[in-house]
């Protein structure tokens, strides 16, 4: 069947409804566009939602992660342990601080970082661990917290995928030392671009707030408001990482339906698991026990030796049949920058490489219809039958 624009099922489609549009339009009409009352409200409602004491709205999760490391005063030659199975940002922010990203492998049977590998990677220079909640499935935080406490390290959570998610009855955002969320266009809550830092520490929250806006003592909103004053002090070298009120207004309406959107994604994920686990060509995702999965991503693995075509060819066939997919992630250590500048080599983290070579992320978004879900399942079923070894 030739794929027309309308029959192509994209990997992701943001759920933007009338209330989201209205909320942004109100800000546009208000005369105040950048960080202001909406951003403050989004911070307090977000903090309440995840159960955190402090939340600071920023321009991206990358910014949030950078601020987290800057807030703990990460310095040149310090080391930060993070999984190789992650997006560019998680490692990049360590390099922004001229520190060293120390990569570790995944668990053999999941995409989550391996706590035992984290412990082995600790040196006297280690300052922090960044745990990534891959796909929205929380990493096993108890052993990581234990390691962090025993070695006096900061546990930063890269929760770009994990809203809303839970670990042993608590929401992600209220567990580690600093948690960073993403509101990028494809994420479970979107503000187009955006992010949030959540922390229980008032000191870290203060530093993140100051560093997020030029290192100055007052934000622009306070400066220009009726009660504000023009005078400010530069306290340190900060960044321009603030969130606009236009983004925050969208964040507020999205937050109100965040749990509902998760339920819709979970329904699709359950349908995928039910249908695909019956086919021996694919392995369905493993979920960490006693967690609430955000279901940002649904990542299947093509079982080795079951099909006559490669994972890449399967992705191409899905595309030809009108189904958009993605791959999460190309392990950091396999990228030229990491090999050429940091001495990593292919073959170094076999679990991550094996997972990567087999992985396909299927379409999963709250506005996806039952028919669209059926189409993905049937196409995967057809392809497994057509290319059976």
Ligand X SMILES: Cc1ncc(COP(=O)(O)O)c(C=O)c1O
Which residues sit at the interface with ligand X, rule CB under 6 A? 60-62, 86-87, 89-90, 132, 158, 160-161, 182, 184, 195
Is residue 94 within 8 A of residue 338, CB to CB? The reply is no
First to last CA, the chain: 24
* Residue 194 beta carbon to ligand X: minimum distance, rounded to whole angstroms: 7
Is residue 175 within 8 A of residue 290, CB to CB? The reply is no
Please, which residue, 161 or 214, has the CB nearer to ligand X? 161
List the beta bridge partners of residue 234.
216
Please, which residue, 24 or 162, has the CB nearer to ligand X? 162
* Residue 343 beta carbon to ligand X: minimum distance, rounded to whole angstroms: 23
Output the CA–CA distances (angstroms, integers) from residue 236 to 29, 62, 94, in the order listed: 34, 20, 19
257 in active site: no
* Residue 338 beta carbon to ligand X: minimum distance, rounded to whole angstroms: 16
* Residue 112 beta carbon to ligand X: minimum distance, rounded to whole angstroms: 12
Please, which residue, 179 or 351, has the CB nearer to ligand X? 179
* Residue 26 beta carbon to ligand X: minimum distance, rounded to whole angstroms: 24
Please, which residue, 114 or 375, has the CB nearer to ligand X? 114
* Residue 182 beta carbon to ligand X: minimum distance, rounded to whole angstroms: 3
Question: Out of 187, 218, 270, 319, which one is annotated catalytic?
Answer: 187
* Residue 132 beta carbon to ligand X: minimum distance, rounded to whole angstroms: 5
Please, which residue, 262 or 375, has the CB nearer to ligand X? 262
Please, which residue, 92 or 379, has the CB nearer to ligand X? 92
> What are the catalytic residues?
187
């Amino acid at each position: 069947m030739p794929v027309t624009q309308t029959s192509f099922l994209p990997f992701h489609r943001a759920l933007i409804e009338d209330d989201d549009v209205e909320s942004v339009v109100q800000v546009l009409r208000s005369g105040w566009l950048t960080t202001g009352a909406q951003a403050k409200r989004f911070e307090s409602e977000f903090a309440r939602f995840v159960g955190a004491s402090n939340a600071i709205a920023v321009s991206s999760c990358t910014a949030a992660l950078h601020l987290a490391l800057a807030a703990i005063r990460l310095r040149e030659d310090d080391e930060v342990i993070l999984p190789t199975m992650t997006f560019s940002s998680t490692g990049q922010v360590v390099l922004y601080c001229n520190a060293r990203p120390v990569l570790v492998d995944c668990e053999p049977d999941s995409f989550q970082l391996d706590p035992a590998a984290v412990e082995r990677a600790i040196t006297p220079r280690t300052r922090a661990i960044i745990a990534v909640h891959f796909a929205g499935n929380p990493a096993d935080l108890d052993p990581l917290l234990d390691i962090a406490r025993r070695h006096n390290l900061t546990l930063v959570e890269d929760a770009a995928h994990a809203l809303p998610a839970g670990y042993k009855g608590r929401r992600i955002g209220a567990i580690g030392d600093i948690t960073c969320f993403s509101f990028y266009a494809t994420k479970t809550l979107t503000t187009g671009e955006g992010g949030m830092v959540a922390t229980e520490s008032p000191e870290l929250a203060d530093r993140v707030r100051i560093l997020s806006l030029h290192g100055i003592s007052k934000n622009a909103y306070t400066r220009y408001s009726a009660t504000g004053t023009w005078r400010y002090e530069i306290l340190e070298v900060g960044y321009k990482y603030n969130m606009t009120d236009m983004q925050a207004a969208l964040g507020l309406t999205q937050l109100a339906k965040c749990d509902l959107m998760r339920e819709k994604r979970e329904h699709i994920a359950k349908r995928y698991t039910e249908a695909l686990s019956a086919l021996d060509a694919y392995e369905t995702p493993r979920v960490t026990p006693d967690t609430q999965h955000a279901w940002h991503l649904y990542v299947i693995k093509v079982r080795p030796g079951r099909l006559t075509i490669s994972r890449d060819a399967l992705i191409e066939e899905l595309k030809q049949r009108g189904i958009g997919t993605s791959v999460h992630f190309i392990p950091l250590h396999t990228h030229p920058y990491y090999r050429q500048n940091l001495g990593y080599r292919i073959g170094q983290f076999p679990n991550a490489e094996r997972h990567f070579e087999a992985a396909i992320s299927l379409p999963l978004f709250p506005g996806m219809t039952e028919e669209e879900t059926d189409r993905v399942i049937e196409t995967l079923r057809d392809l497994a039958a057509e290319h059976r070894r």
